[in-house]
Amino acid sequence: MTRAAAEEWLAQDPDPATRAELRALLDAGDEAALADRFAGRLEFGTAGLRGELGAGPNRMNRVTVMRAAAGLAARLLEEAADEPPGVVIGYDARHNSERFALDTAAVLTGAGLTAWLLPGPLPTPVLAHAVGYLGADAGVMVTASHNPPRDNGYKVYWGDGAQIVPPLDTEISAAIDAVGRVDELPLGTGWTVLGDEIVEAYLHGLSRLPLGTARDVRVAYTPLHGVGRDVLLRAFRWTGLPAPAVVAEQAEPDPDFPTVAFPNPEEPGAMDLVLELAEASGSDLVIANDPDADRCAVAVPAPDGGLRPLTGDELGGLLAEYVLGRTHGTDRLVATTIVSSSLLGRIAAAHRVRSAVTLTGFKWLMRAAAPADRLVFAYEEALGYCVGGDDGPVVHDKDGIGAALAVAALAAQARLDGRTLADLLDDQARRHGLHATAQLSVRLPDPELIAAASAALRREPPKALAGRAVTAVDDLTQGLAGLPPTEGLRLRLADGARVVVRPSGTEPKLKCYLEVVTPVTGDVAAARTRAAADLAALRTALEETLALP
């Protein structure tokens, strides 16, 4: 059966490279490799598609992409009125990204839709902004973000400029299932290739952010071999910020990401080169984007010398206070996710505005606002930030370029005031208590191991962790405080601590999010030492409880 499916796939595949790969496996009789490619298929969900490049339905390839485009077209046509639906398509610099974008444009126009193609490899937030700017009905971004070089992906946005949520994902997935052979799809040629005006429109939006007037800041920057550099440099120039020093070895887009093991600024070692550049150049601030520039990582000079990366929660707290101090109105809303720090709620209360907590992912964060709310800031601990102003967000998604501008402006203002970002973090700890967070992330390539670990914890949750009583267990599959059901478990512990355990939505990992809240009654450094010890003990206790290999 697998060989027959492979032969059928081979007959419709337009790509010489994947045809050659599949023919070689068939000729060699490599049943295991064939089964790996044909025993399942990449599932289309709220993150779209993401997976390893190669032949077959369980890989990212031209057939998979054309089927996805045809399914998206069918779903859009279901609710089309007089005008054909319009879709804007973007792509990064990964292997096959441009080819997948062109195939998408051909399938969409062949189905009678209007398609616009971004003018070259560009950051994901440019695509997300373009959806709203053009009044498109949907957007497609071909990217695997910070995944390894062998991967690619297909992210879908709806007409509001935000990533899709249920039930749209299942509706599009069903439409994809109904697609026949791709060599029988009608293909068009009438799409529009956009010019630089689409990038300028995005930059104009960023220039309206509440960035203050202070501009004296020295920044070291890396795009991690991705597509962020040129747009970020233009954004700094547009807003009057000094041009950052850029890591030469990582400045040009390179789909093989040769200087890093994983092109993710959260991974150990990924920021080593930009930290070296910052030390050598005496920079006040270190900024890294992930390869599609929708995430932003930051490091700052430490009080005792050297540079220390900020956690996503630390930068989220700083940016929240910065935005709330420069926007106005009691209808303002700030939002974060269930796995992020509880600090944002305390910051919002101090500013007398509402805060919201959503499931993980910006698809949920961008829908956190009730009709009476005006979202001005949202973040998730995985280095994703949406910075807005009094007129709301520039991009209805995470935006690593906008976040870079905001943190550079914040650092410039702190420098003008004779302060540092480290000082501002200490100020927050004194006002709200020290909210310290950490992660335990376990890569488990077998999905059954991830599911088994989650199920075991649900069946028998611990009564205590690291000497802290577990005061409540929240099963996220049952929904929580009005949130949609999702796979995961939250353990609430004594003294405001908590642990959330969930499978990653984009990688084969079990992810655990830890938080402790330490009152600050004296020296903040001493409180940080206590919090670090508490987090380490909690991490060890959780590892023992999960008993993972």
Write the pLDDT tens digit of every residue in 44-65. 987 899 999 999 999 999 999 9
Among all chains, which residue has been given the structure tokens 């979202």?
Answer: 375
Write the pLDDT tens digit of every residue in 495-547. 999 999 998 876 778 899 999 999 998 899 999 999 999 999 999 999 999 87
In the predicted model, is pLDDT for residue 168 greater than 80?
yes
**What DSSP assignment string belongs to 68-134?**
HHHHHHHHHHHT--SSPPEEEEEE-SSTTHHHHHHHHHHHHHHTT-EEEE-SSS--HHHHHHHHHHH
Banded model confidence at residue 389, pLDDT cuts 50, 70, 90: very high
What average pLDDT does the segment 76-101 reach?
Answer: 95
Establish how many alpha carbons lie within 13 A of residue 244's alpha carbon, considering only the half-sphere containing its beta carbon.
Answer: 35
**What DSSP assignment string belongs to 36-75?**
HHHSS-PPPBTTBEEEEBSSSTTSBSHHHHHHHHHHHHHH
- The predicted pLDDT at position 98 comes to 98
In the predicted model, is pLDDT for residue 447 greater than 80?
no
In the predicted model, is pLDDT for residue 480 greater than 90?
no
Q: Which of 225-234, 298-307, 347-356, 388-397 has the lowest mean pLDDT?
A: 298-307
DSSP lists the bridge partners of residue 226 as none
Q: How far apart are CA 291 and CA 12, in angstroms?
A: 32
Q: CA-based angle 258:260:266, to the nearest 5?
A: 150
Q: Are 376 and 386 in contact (CB under 8 A)?
A: no
* Token code pair at residue 173: 């997935």
- CA 446, 447, 448, 452 dihedral sign is positive
Considering only CA atoms, which of 93, 147, 95, 161 is closest in space to residue 123?
93
Looking at this protein, which amino acid is placed at residue 407?
V
Q: Which residue has the higher pLDDT, 426 or 509?
A: 426
Q: Are 398 and 413 in contact (CB under 8 A)?
A: no
* Token code pair at residue 503: 């499978």
In the predicted model, is pLDDT for residue 1 greater than 70?
no
Q: How far apart are CA 487 and CA 477, in angstroms?
A: 5
H-run or E-run covering 198: helix 197-206
Q: How far apart are CA 496 and CA 473, in angstroms?
A: 14
Banded model confidence at residue 443, pLDDT cuts 50, 70, 90: confident
Q: What pTM, to 2 d.p., does this model score?
A: 0.96
- The predicted pLDDT at position 549 comes to 62
* Known catalytic residue at 454: no
- The predicted pLDDT at position 71 comes to 98
Q: CA-based angle 89:92:95, to the nearest 5?
A: 115
What average pLDDT does the segment 15-33 reach?
Answer: 96
What average pLDDT does the segment 184-195 reach?
Answer: 97
What average pLDDT does the segment 377-399 reach?
Answer: 97
Considering only CA atoms, which of 454, 432, 451 is closest in space to residue 517?
432
In the predicted model, is pLDDT for residue 455 greater than 90?
no
Query: Average pLDDT, whole number, for the chain?
Result: 95
In the predicted model, is pLDDT for residue 324 greater than 90?
yes
Considering only CA atoms, which of 388, 346, 349 is closest in space to residue 365?
388
- The predicted pLDDT at position 453 comes to 83
- The predicted pLDDT at position 456 comes to 86
In the predicted model, is pLDDT for residue 81 greater than 90?
no
In the predicted model, is pLDDT for residue 423 greater than 80?
yes
Please give the domain boundaries of the chain with CATH numbers for all domains: 37-195 (3.40.120.10), 212-425 (3.40.120.10), 433-546 (3.30.310.50)
Write the pLDDT tens digit of every residue in 227-263. 999 999 999 999 999 999 999 999 999 999 999 999 9
Q: How far apart are CA 437 and CA 360, in angstroms?
A: 16
Write the pLDDT tens digit of every residue in 294-308. 999 999 999 888 999
| Active-site residue, selected from the candidate residues 145, 283, 342, 454 | 145
In the predicted model, is pLDDT for residue 445 greater than 80?
no
